Amino acid sequence: MPFAPIVLFCYNRVDHLRETIKYLSNNPLARKSVLYVFSDGPKMNTPTAKEDAERVQKVRSYLPTIEGFADVRIKEAETNQGLANSVIRGVTAVIEQHGRVIVMEDDIICTTDFLDFQNAALDFYEHHPLVFSISGYLYPFSIPPAYSEEVLLLPRASSLGWSTWKNRWELADWSVADYAHFIQDSKARQAFSASGSDLIPMFAKQQKGLISSWAIRWSYTHFKQKRYCLYPIRSKVEHIGYDAGTNFGRFSRFQNTALHEGKIRLTADVQVDPEVVQNLKRHFKPSWLRQMINRYKYGI
pLDDT in tens, 135-188: 999 999 999 999 999 999 999 999 999 999 999 999 999 999 999 999 999 999
With a pLDDT cut of 90, the percent of the chain lying above it is 84
Going by pLDDT thresholds of 50, 70 and 90, the confidence category of residue 1 is: low
Sign of dihedral through CA atoms 278, 122, 105, 246? negative
pLDDT in tens, 39-69: 999 998 888 889 999 999 999 999 999 999 9
What are the strands of the beta sheet with 100-105, ordered from one edge? Answer: 71-76, 34-39, 6-10, 100-105, 162-165, 131-135, 228-232, 151-154
Query: Whole-angstrom Cα distance, residue 229 to residue 117?
Result: 14
Work out the average pLDDT over 113-140.
Answer: 97
Residue 246 pLDDT: 45
Inter-CA distances, 298 with 192, 210, 291, Å? 20, 9, 10
Work out the average pLDDT over 6-21.
Answer: 97
Residue 137's SS3 state is coil
Residue 74, C-beta contacts closer than 8 angstroms, at least 6 positions apart? 37, 39, 63, 64
Nearest residue to 216 via CA among 226, 230, 202, 205: 202
- Which amino acid does the sequence have at 23? Y
- Which amino acid does the sequence have at 222? H
